[in-house]
Amino acid sequence: MQKFTTLLILLISTAFTTLAQSSDTTAIQQRLDEYFRATEAKDWKKVVDMVYPKLFNLVEKEEMVQLFADMEGNGMAFQMKDFKVHGISEPVAHEGERYALVNYSAAMNIRFTSAAYRDTNMVENIRANFAATYGEENVHYNKEDNSFDIQAHKAMFAIAPEGSEEWAFMENNPGQEGLLGALIPEAVREKLEEKE
């Protein structure tokens, strides 16, 4: 009887853990869908409203909206689409917040509209930078309209206060270790890396 009771408790706790993980994954996915739709629509105010709020200790919210809006006015036009989530980790709790790692991909088209970007050396430098970031096989140059098609494989952090499903997002970009260190605790990053 004792063995049966222990097994029953184990099964129930496993079921609750699985349900909690499934609930978190569903909530994160719903917020991601909203975030990705806003990104595709270039609704930068909505995108920024879903960015991890602690980032605004470093950059003002209005400034970030303006940065996004200005990208298209500086000799370049871009479009992101075909977002696909490849994995959402089990969240890690730390000091009143929960963190999950999201692996996703997206198709990007970046078109350079200024004549200055048509120079052969400039195009090659841009292509080399994109290839270093996204992988040679994921970057295609279109000479006709001076654009690049990029298949990006990326990761971001989803963060929510304990007890909330208001998940916010922050990109996990290589080369931004200082920014990540300031906003995402090292203990959290280590735990999330272990879960990958």
> pLDDT tens-digit profile of 8-63?
343 443 333 333 445 889 999 999 999 999 999 999 999 999 999 998 888 888 88
Tokens 């991601």 — which residue? 32
How much is the pLDDT for 196? 61
Residue 41: exposure state from Cβ atoms within 10 A (0-12, 13-18, ≥19):
exposed
How many C-beta atoms lie closer than 10 Å to residue 157's C-beta? 22
The domain that contains 189 carries what CATH number? 3.10.450.100
* Burial readout 89-115 (b: 16 or more C-beta within 10 A, e: otherwise): bebbeeeebbbbbbbbebebbbbbbee
How many C-beta atoms lie closer than 10 Å to residue 166's C-beta? 11
Residue 129, SS3 per DSSP? helix
Tokens 């222990």 — which residue? 6
Q: What is the pLDDT of residues 127-180, one digit of tens each?
A: 999 999 899 999 999 999 999 999 999 999 999 999 999 999 999 887 777 878
d(C-alpha 196, C-alpha 191), whole Å: 9
d(C-alpha 93, C-alpha 88), whole Å: 15
Written as six digits, the tokens of 178 are 């200082």
For residues 187 and 194, the answer to whether their CB atoms sit within 8 Å is no
Range of the domain at 173: 2-195
Provide the residue type at 172 as one letter.
N
State the total domains in the chain.
Answer: 1
